[in-house]
Chains A and B, each alone.
Chain A
């Protein structure tokens, strides 16, 4: 699941020209500050994750880090 999430994040960033290869995506990475995702990127992220895992990760408010996404999805397992 964690690799799938990272894959989704990379493809969104690549598509929008915001991808920086030198930045490693880790659980502690902050979506906006560290990975450079803007509000459109975050909106795309919810759609792709919902398609894959059937969970709207931002339903109860936005999350800030990659690790918090993992935690949300684990809770719904």
Chain B
């Protein structure tokens, strides 16, 4: 029988029939679900969607402090009853109910003000770039993104709505990923450049993979060549998406074209890409949203462009965005430190690596391990500085700002 959901770490191999049984198992669900394991997460999400219930998707590595700050600490993983629970007669009805769902889906992005930012979505906003139809029915997806993040939700909806087999490979080592690709004949992968960089290092060849999508950070020509060697029969796409806007553009190579359906809602001002929020259902304000992405225009009409860099100071670590101000703010509360600076340094493994320089107060002492330990109590793993050095003084720019270059 065809697998519907596979997660080897929990020995999960479920068919669509069992999945539907698990959706119907009881009439409770978690409105605010903190991620624990993939199958339970997916059953809860689909249960919420088919019953038009709102759902909040919380990452497993949110710290208690982050949950407190967001105001979700008291309602995490509390069971709520669904009155008049929907009974799905078959998988087609499940697909239809998901497509017509009125649920509000809440996700989080790393905010620029220090806290993860709350972003609300609906099924229309999440499925804008999703393709459903007979051409897609035989696809077998590897889920390589965090399932609580925008990119992960997109992959799982693409797979669910076509009733594809979905194999959970997020967070697995490259060896395990390679085993899963071969064992389950995965045909479609969507992941960050860092994921592929680690995977292609083994020089394994995966002839059955038909499509590779890259997103979340800038890729490079060398990586494209390596991907072609490891996936000789795959088409390679780049995708532009953000937690706020969902997926918007797909590029062949590194040039993005704006689809006709949204061309009136996309413009470039002073090299910065702006998107009009009217294309996002249920947005409170209608305005031009500044993406913070600096682009180079290749053609004016129809608009085609290339990404150059980010305008903001965010450090992109393997597809995860780190706000240096947030970490510096926390470091200011360390009594041993007179001053500290967080900056990104280009890195051939992760794209960028988070680095830290610090100046000690007179007579004070602190071990690097202790700095990491204390930051780990407050922040997710990817935000922790990896290269930490003591210096005599922090270099500042002429305006008195800490220099991040």
Residues of A whose CB lies within 8 Å of any CB of B are 15, 32-33, 39-40, 42-44, 46-48, 56, 58-64
Contacts and interface: CB of A to CB of B under 8 A. Distances in A.
Contact of A44 (B175, B201, B353): B353
A48 B345 CA distance: 13
A61 B318 contact: no
Nearest to A31: B201
Nearest to B202: A64
Interface string B181-216: 000000000000010011011100000000000000
Contact of B348 (A32, A33, A46, A64): A46
B198 A61 contact: no
B198 A63 contact: no
Contacts of B386: 40, 43-44, 47
A62 B197 contact: yes
A42 B349 contact: yes
Interface in B160-179: 173-175
Contacts of A56: 348
A43 B372 contact: no
Interface in B114-164: none
B387 A44 contact: yes
B269 interface: no
B347 interface: yes
Contacts of A39: 194, 198, 318, 349-350
Give the interface centre of A15, A60, A61 by most chain B CB atoms within 10 Å: A61
B222 interface: yes
Contact of A43 (B175, B201, B353): B353
B1 interface: no
B75 interface: no
B368 interface: yes
Given A61-B200, A62-B197, A63-B201, A46 B173 contact: no
The 9 closest A-B pairs by CB, nearest first: A62-B201, A58-B348, A43-B349, A43-B350, A42-B349, A43-B353, A44-B386, A43-B347, A47-B387
B198 A47 contact: no
Interface in B304-324: 318
Interface residues of B, number: 26
Nearest to B226: A61
B392 interface: no
Contacts of A59: 348
A15 B372 CA distance: 9
A64 B197 CA distance: 12
20 contacts: A15-B372, A32-B173, A32-B175, A33-B175, A39-B194, A40-B386, A42-B349, A43-B347, A43-B353, A43-B386, A44-B387, A46-B348, A47-B347, A47-B387, A60-B222, A61-B201, A61-B226, A62-B197, A62-B200, A64-B202
A46 B200 contact: no
Nearest to B198: A39
Given A15-B372, A33-B175, A61 B222 contact: yes
Given A15-B368, A47-B353, A61-B226, 10 more contacts: A32-B175, A33-B175, A39-B349, A42-B349, A44-B387, A47-B345, A47-B387, A60-B222, A61-B222, A62-B201
A28 B366 CA distance: 36
Given A15-B368, A44-B387, A58 B175 contact: no
A58 B202 contact: no
A15 B369 contact: yes
Given A58-B348, A61-B201, A63-B201, A32 B372 contact: no
Contacts of B174: 32
A46 B350 CA distance: 10
A64 B369 contact: no
Nearest to A57: B348
A62 B168 CA distance: 24
Contacts of B369: 15
A44 to B, nearest CB: 5
Nearest to B225: A61
Give the interface centre of B194, B197, B348 by most chain A CB atoms within 10 Å: B348
Contact of A62 (B198, B345, B382, B387): B198
A43 B372 CA distance: 16
A17 B382 CA distance: 16
Contacts of A40: 350, 381-382, 386
A73 to B, nearest CB: 15
Contacts of A62: 197-198, 200-201, 348-349
